Amino acid sequence: DGGITQSPKYLFRKEGQNVTLSCEQNLNHDAMYWYRQDPGQGLRLIYYSQIVNDFQKGDIAEGYSVSREKKESFPLTVTSAQKNPTAFYLCASLGQGRTEAFFGQGTRLTVV
Amino acid sequence: SQQGEEDPQALSIQEGENATMNCSYKTSINNLQWYRQNSGRGLVHLILIRSNEREKHSGRLRVTLDTSKKSSSLLITASRAADTASYFCATDTGNQFYFGTGTSLTVIP
Per-residue pLDDT band for B77 (boundaries 50, 70, 90) equals very high
Residue A1: per-residue pLDDT = 61
Q: For a pLDDT cut of 90, what percent of chain B falls above it?
A: 83
Residue B3: per-residue pLDDT = 67
Closest CA to A60 of A80, A21, A34: A34
Q: Which residue of B has its CA nearest to A88?
A: B40
Cβ–Cβ gap A98/B98 under 8 Å: no
State which H helix or E strand residue A89 sits in.
strand A87-94
- Give the pLDDT confidence of B20-54 residue by residue, as tens digits: 999 999 989 999 999 999 988 889 999 999 999 99
Which pLDDT tens digits describe chain A residue by residue (112 residues)? 679 999 999 999 898 899 999 999 999 999 999 999 998 788 999 999 999 999 999 999 999 999 999 999 999 999 998 889 999 999 999 988 888 999 999 999 998 8
The mean pLDDT of chain A is 93
**Diameter over CA atoms, chain B:** 41
Return d(Cα B104, Cα B7) in angstroms, integer. Answer: 9
Cβ–Cβ gap A99/B40 under 8 Å: no
Cβ burial of A33 (10 Å; 0-12, 13-18, 19+) is buried
3-state DSSP percent of chain A in helix, strand and coil, to 5: 0, 55, 45
**Which of A9, A98, A99, A102 is the best mutation test for B, with the most CBs of B within 10 A?**
A98
Cβ–Cβ gap B45/A100 under 8 Å: yes
Residues in Cβ contact with A51 at an 8 Å cutoff, skipping those fewer than 6 apart: A30, A68
Residues in Cβ contact with B51 at an 8 Å cutoff, skipping those fewer than 6 apart: B28, B29, B30, B31, B32, B65, B67
- Contacts of residue B95 in chain A, CB cutoff 8 Å? 50, 56
Return d(Cα A53, Cα A50) in angstroms, integer. Answer: 9
